[in-house]
Structure 1
Amino acid sequence: MKFSTFAYAWPLTATVLHCLAAGGKSIQNQPMLQLSSDPTMHFDLLSPFSLAIAGGADIGPILGVAKDIEAGDIESFTQQFYKLANETKAQAEDPDNSYDAINVRDTWFSASTYYRKAANYIIGNWDDPRLPQTWAEQTAAFDKGLAGMTIPGERVRIPAAKGNFTVEAVWYAASENKQVKAPTLIVGNGFDAAQEDSFHVYCVPALARGWNCITYEGPGQPTVRRNQSIGFIPEWELVLTPVVDYLLQEKSDIVDVNKLALLGNSMGGYLAARAAAFEPRLSALLLIDGMWDFSLLFFGGLPKSVVAIFNAGNYTDFDREVISLRKSENVTTEIAWGINQGLWAFKTRSPSDMLKQAQKYRVKEFISTIDIPVFVAEGEFDGWLEGQAQLVTDAIGDKATLHKFTGVAGYHCHVSAGQELARVMFAWLKKTLG
């Protein structure tokens, strides 16, 4: 099947938001080997590496895909990852491999990752049948991986008390000992990444350190947007509070209420901060990375002449210009994908409506009310969020700790530097919560 007419797309996944060219930093000046001459595809090849250290992918197959993908060819990217996903699924189903339950589990997890990667660029066409197909495949594969865990992960659906939606979550217990209450990490992603990615990046290291973990998705995020057809809402406490209720009501025997930490990844830096400002039962907050104003990501990527049309209130002209830009063969990858994903996630066909919604995702009005310890991360090469983490830290004041990741760990959400990220954030949690 063909994609829509959009020439390029840029997946700002939970671990992959920053474009190498952002902030005026050329590919030649980057601190690591580039896996594709297309900077967008380089990042999309880095993101599964982030999962590989925690059983969510295998390095050799990703390098094989990188070799066969034609730089800038989104159909090539999709087909190669879908092929790899199907091959990996077949390996998981091979009865000759069934004796090795651990390896089969991780093979299912890897297949799930590759299906998600195959879905990166199809968001621009809401009617593309691959949109639900790849998601069904990734979910089924991930669930088989969950079932193979020593303590199986548990999908739960938590009705929101306010708002017509249900929170999609996955619960992971650190121990089967019902007599021990453990610290618990709540993990939320952002603009487009899946909670299945969060498991490998955050939950595996949390479980290894004796932490329970729960991932969740709300309106606008992958599963809720697909299954419930609901776009983003800025009042994220309506999403997070039901999750906390669930933990304290359904898991009270194994959750230490004095060690309940919330983590927000990527756009989740806004979402988690918003939730923490209105949820008093949290003990600590981690923003990976700090976000001051989500709408700046859109305004910073559009031509100034187009932004001026929006600022003048000429929304019909703005919509026409942005749709034309999105379809242009000369548009940059990150702009085209950002528009596509924004329209999808905010559930609107109007770029001006999308931007008006995005302008509601600013922390200025509530950030100073957060009254718990806060870890704020920042990436040296995160050109899209440059300076925002410092603004967040300054507004929170003495309760905030800013950590700047540099070098190869310095990209948005510290993609492919999972060991360093986990080492730093869990050291801070240990120091902060004991």
Structure 2
Amino acid sequence: MIAFDGPGQGSVLLDQGIVFRPDWENVVGPVLDHVLELPGVDPARIALMGWSFGGYTAPRAATAEHRLAACVSDSGPYDLLGALRARIPRPLTRNLPHGTVLTRPVLAAALRSVLRRPSAGWSLRRNLWVHGVDDPLELLGVLADYTLAGREHLIRCPTFVCRTAGDDLTAAAPTFAARLTCPSRYVEFGPADGVTGHCEMTGRAVFHREVFDWLDEVLA
């Protein structure tokens, strides 16, 4: 198994100042070039797994990087702006990401208010940082590029999609799974499995059992 920091993550963000980008196939491609040079790697059995935001970046990479034998999208957003839209009062969501003459100043004021909150504003402040923007309204325009809608048919490798019941960030995961044209499996974990929270936080072992059993079948 190999793990790496991509743009907007870990040392790439902290030490190099490189922020997130939506076209993750251009991140995974060079990683695969390196992996394929390592001893003992079977080029026909390479799987890509991403969780949380990686649940978007992994399948996004699979839309164009066809050297993958399998892809796992664990608790990722199908459409990032859509996930954020669900958290904004409905009257302010008209014509997002740009808004209207009436909604834009109100939305800007609401987002600045959230930004100032010590705890509630943490996610928004972090998103500004990792995407390299200063203005919350500018962030909405950036997030519009992070979507799998209309690209599902480009994924060729078998794909595992999962979420935990009640996780609002991943509410559209069933839609994403249903629109895949490749072999796929969709799993929704919940209290009956002893699993709650984003990315199966109270039951990662349950997730691991499910996904690695699936990978055993796919990569056999």
TM over 0.5: yes
Aligned to 1:262: 48
CA shift, 1:317, in A, is 5.6
CA shift, 1:228, in A, is 1.4
CA shift, 1:375, in A, is 0.7
Cα-to-partner distance string for 1:3-49 (whole Å, 9 max, x where unaligned): xxxxxxxxxxxxxxxxxxxxxxxxxxxxxxxxxxxxxxxxxxxxxxx
| SS of the residue 2:153 aligns to | helix
TM-score for both structures, normalised by structure 2:
0.89
RMSD between aligned residues: 2.1
> 1:276-295 to 2 correspondence within 5 Å?
276-295=62-81
Identity, in percent, stands at: 27
Say whether 1:340 aligns with 2:125.
yes
Say whether 1:325 aligns with 2:111.
no
Alignment partner for residue 199 of structure 2, among 409, 413, 418?
A: 413
Tell me if structure 2 keeps the 8 A contact 1:235–1:274.
yes
Cα-to-partner distance string for 1:378-419 (whole Å, 9 max, x where unaligned): 211212322x11111111135111111111314221113121
Aligned to 1:217: 5
TM-score for both structures, normalised by structure 1:
0.47
Alignment partner for residue 18 of structure 2, among 218, 230, 247?
A: 230
Alignment partner for residue 147 of structure 2, among 359, 362, 368?
A: 362
Count of residue pairs brought into register by the alignment: 215
Indicate how the Cα distance of structure 1 residues 376 and 238 shifts in structure 2: closer, same or farther if over 3 A, else same. Answer: same
Tell me if structure 2 keeps the 8 A contact 1:378–1:410.
no
Aligned to 1:373: 158
Indicate how the Cα distance of structure 1 residues 268 and 398 shifts in structure 2: closer, same or farther if over 3 A, else same. Answer: same
Tell me if structure 2 keeps the 8 A contact 1:298–1:338.
no
Tell me if structure 1 keeps the 8 A contact 2:196–2:202.
no
Alignment partner for residue 272 of structure 1, among 52, 55, 58?
A: 58
Say whether 1:403 aligns with 2:187.
yes
CA shift, 1:302, in A, is 2.7
Structure with the higher helix share, 1 or 2: 1
Larger of the two Rg values belongs to structure? 1
CA shift, 1:234, in A, is 0.7
Q: Distance in 2 between matches of 1:227 and 1:340?
A: 19
Tell me if structure 2 keeps the 8 A contact 1:378–1:403.
yes
Cα-to-partner distance string for 1:205-260 (whole Å, 9 max, x where unaligned): xxxxxxxx1111221123212111122111111111110000112x0x21111110
> 1:13-412 to 2 correspondence within 5 Å?
213-249=1-37, 251=38, 253-308=39-94, 310-312=98-100, 315=104, 318-327=107-116, 333-334=119-120, 336-386=121-171, 388-397=172-181, 399-407=183-191, 408-412=194-198
| SS of the residue 1:377 aligns to | strand
The range that moved more, 316-325 or 340-349, is 316-325
| SS of the residue 1:432 aligns to | helix
CA shift, 1:315, in A, is 4.9
Q: Which amino acid aligns with 2:111?
A: V
CA shift, 1:290, in A, is 4.6
Q: Distance in 2 between matches of 1:390 and 1:375?
A: 11
| SS of the residue 2:26 aligns to | helix
